[in-house]
Structure 1
Amino acid sequence: MSPSSTPRSLQFSTQGIPQPSRMELWSIHNSKALIALDIRTMDESPLTAAEINLHFPSLRLAQVRGSAQVIERNERYIRKHPMDVVGVFFALKGEAFFYYPGGFETLRPGQAVIYDADQPFMRGFHGGVEEMVLTIPRDEYLALSGGKPPTKPVVFDFRETGPANRHMLALARLVRNTLAAAMGSDADPAPSTALDPVTVEGSAIELLRLLVAGSGAGMPEGYLAAARCFIQDHLGDPNLCPAQIAQAVGISERHLTRVFVEAGKPPGAYVLARRLEHAAALLADPVEAKTPIGAIAVRCGFTSQAYFTRVFKGHFGTTPLNARRDACTDGLALPH
């Protein structure tokens, strides 16, 4: 795929579909767009469901919302509908059970599970489902994992600290921002890979490599994505430094510096640029119009307003006060 190509997008919603046809059409859509599933509702309530899908050359991404339901792939169903993919399921809301041969897991919001779609499983969402899904062909997954298949579900909690969970959080952010960009929604204020298919797939695959093969097998794209995610969450920390970032993503400070320099600028310069971009966004936000500039500087990790003003002017060519005034003027300008 060339960098100018865009992923194929699909959408499905039960809105406007007669109730008797919803389950069949929901199943057909998932079979073609994501993973073939045996789907059942948990009571007599009519199914409501919606899904957004993006198809890249290797990866498939999805955002799924729906009412209470049970989804299953038993041995007979798998023989009839083989998928040959490994899935990553990111729980966003509600609690769900995950049964598999030999055990079960209870998945809560902020957790993600990696599992082979051609291994039997049953998942249930008694309060409804809201999740994101990423699938990758099994042979590509095995190339990342050193030939080790996921015979049991592997669960990560991307709300917790630790390099592996940080890597999963970065992957979740990448999936969310890519789906949001596809739908024209607001993504994270961090520099987004948006819909650049080469960058999205490269970063996602390298983050998966870190997750399934360990930090020693990582490539620069994966560490860079994880580090940028950590930086975005800690912009307000005035003590944020390369050593802290390196520890969070599981590499040495020297390795971190090399990764960032190869991407364009050293980590310290990247952090400063992100802080200034975040400050500029706050200054242009009407909701923050009465927030003192000094308070905005502190929220962006600057301990000195004088220093903040100096570096802001050096970066944008104007002072924070003038940037706010210009934003207000532009916002009040009448259309031609």
Structure 2
Amino acid sequence: MIHTDGVAPAERFEYWRHLVSQTLLPLEVVSESPADFHGEMRSMDFGAVHISKVSCSDIWTHRTMKHIRQSEPELLQVAIPLRGHGAVVQGREHVAMGPSNIVVYNSWNPYSVLTTGDDESTIQGIFAMVPRTMLHLPETMSERCTPWVFSSREGVGALLLGFLGRLVTDADRFQHGEVTRLGVTVLDLLTMLLAGEKGTTPPPDTRQRVLLARIHAFIHRRLADPALSPETIAAAHNISVRALHRLFLTEERTVAAWIRALRLDHCRRDLANPQLEGRPAHAVAARWGLTDAAHFTRAFRTAYGITPQAYRRLHISGRARA
């Protein structure tokens, strides 16, 4: 996490301008109130995909031909506002940005982006940058010189928003080998999103990985439901249980094992949360769909080498001593 809080107020905006150009792309960043500026950025690379979550005061960014000549890579940039509004101007197109949409534009043509908070609040958004050569799109589509706009509330757009949000939030929890695979999923989702605009059919492996991402998102949403099972998951996605198991061959776990591991991880985090100390361990388990207390205790001990109660005492009492 990088933020301006530790920088002298008079130097914060210059610090931010330098940070953006070094972390993202060469850009000109303008603020109407540089003396009052504040911002923070959390960034991580997932293979070839760079993802950032940014919160800052109102800004106006420009990328000119001078900036373009300073950086060779041709990137597609994905902007998903979470709070505030704005606009992207590229070519002869002017498109609005808001919390209900996703805007995709390119780095090899000049552009301007204006972002402003609502009622003088900060703006917040998720941004991703991907090499255009890694998207499985027809050349005519990948060379487009004006922005795309998609809904972030339905279909692949909603799936992309949710997936990027989880990547940013849980970035520190992923193992090294998982990072590149997660980046490939971002590429697949973006390929599917862009291809859908023109009715282009993505490659079969891309469609399979996007289906798997849909299923992962479905499991996350339904994790608290004790009835969640391979059968209910397959039925919700109009595929057979056998096809579902084939999809999970790449996950190195069965569907049931993947659900169990996810539930146990949520329980582990709740047990280490001091605000939930008064909630019995079996109630924590039930919250995440594990309604058999004895089975939960055995599964937790197998996964973490310690009982749920002992894990809670270890982490909460250890935090209290610190």
**CA deviation after TM superposition for structure 1 residue 268, in Å:** 3.1
Unaligned runs of 5+ in 1: 1-9, 182-186
Q: Which residue in 2 is equivalent to 1:7?
A: none
Q: Which amino acid aligns with 2:163?
A: A
**CA deviation after TM superposition for structure 1 residue 87, in Å:** 0.8
Residue 138 (structure 2) aligned to one of 113, 135, 146: 146
Q: Which residue in 2 is equivalent to 1:275?
A: 263
CA separation of 1:326 and 1:53: change in aligned 2, threshold 3 A: closer
Q: Which residue in 1 is equivalent to 2:184?
A: 202
**CA deviation after TM superposition for structure 1 residue 283, in Å:** 3.9
**Matches for 1:252-331 after TM superposition, within 5 Å:** 254-292=242-280, 295-302=283-290, 305=291, 308-317=292-301, 323-330=307-314, 331=316
**Does the CA-based 8 Å contact 1:224-1:259 persist in structure 2?**
yes
SS at match of 2:109: coil
Q: Which amino acid aligns with 1:227?
A: I
CA separation of 1:329 and 1:243: change in aligned 2, threshold 3 A: closer
**Does the CA-based 8 Å contact 1:36-1:83 persist in structure 2?**
no
CA distance in 2, matches of 1:107, 1:252: 39
SS at match of 2:194: helix
**Does the CA-based 8 Å contact 1:87-1:117 persist in structure 2?**
yes
**CA deviation after TM superposition for structure 1 residue 152, in Å:** 3.6
**Does the CA-based 8 Å contact 1:163-1:250 persist in structure 2?**
no
**Does the CA-based 8 Å contact 2:156-2:192 persist in structure 1?**
no
Q: TM-score, normalised by structure 1?
A: 0.72
CA distance in 2, matches of 1:316, 1:28: 47
**CA deviation after TM superposition for structure 1 residue 41, in Å:** 1.3
**CA deviation after TM superposition for structure 1 residue 235, in Å:** 0.8
Q: Which residue in 1 is equivalent to 2:77?
A: 87
Q: Which amino acid aligns with 1:262?
A: T
Residue 237 (structure 1) aligned to one of 225, 232, 237: 225
**CA deviation after TM superposition for structure 1 residue 266, in Å:** 2.7
Q: Which has the higher helix share?
A: 2
**Does the CA-based 8 Å contact 1:85-1:136 persist in structure 2?**
yes
Q: Which residue in 2 is equivalent to 1:5?
A: none
CA distance in 2, matches of 1:199, 1:207: 13
Q: RMSD in angstroms over aligned alpha carbons?
A: 3.8
CA separation of 1:126 and 1:278: change in aligned 2, threshold 3 A: closer
SS at match of 1:173: helix
Q: Which residue in 1 is equivalent to 2:125?
A: 131
**CA deviation after TM superposition for structure 1 residue 289, in Å:** 3.0
In the TM superposition, what whole-angstrom CA distance separates every residue of 1:196-231 from its partner, at most 9, and x where no partner exists? 543343333333333334585316555444432332
**CA deviation after TM superposition for structure 1 residue 124, in Å:** 1.7
CA distance in 2, matches of 1:145, 1:32: 29
> Does residue 119 of the first structure (1) align with residue 139 of the second (2)?
no
Q: How many residues align?
A: 305
CA separation of 1:106 and 1:250: change in aligned 2, threshold 3 A: farther
CA distance in 2, matches of 1:284, 1:176: 18
**Does the CA-based 8 Å contact 2:137-2:202 persist in structure 1?**
no
CA distance in 1, matches of 2:187, 2:22: 22
Q: Which amino acid aligns with 1:326?
A: A
**CA deviation after TM superposition for structure 1 residue 86, in Å:** 1.0
Unaligned runs of 5+ in 2: none
% identical aligned pairs:
23
**Does the CA-based 8 Å contact 1:35-1:83 persist in structure 2?**
no
In the TM superposition, what whole-angstrom CA distance separates every residue of 1:222-254 from its partner, at most 9, and x where no partner exists? 544443233223211334344664577797655
**Does the CA-based 8 Å contact 2:301-2:308 persist in structure 1?**
no
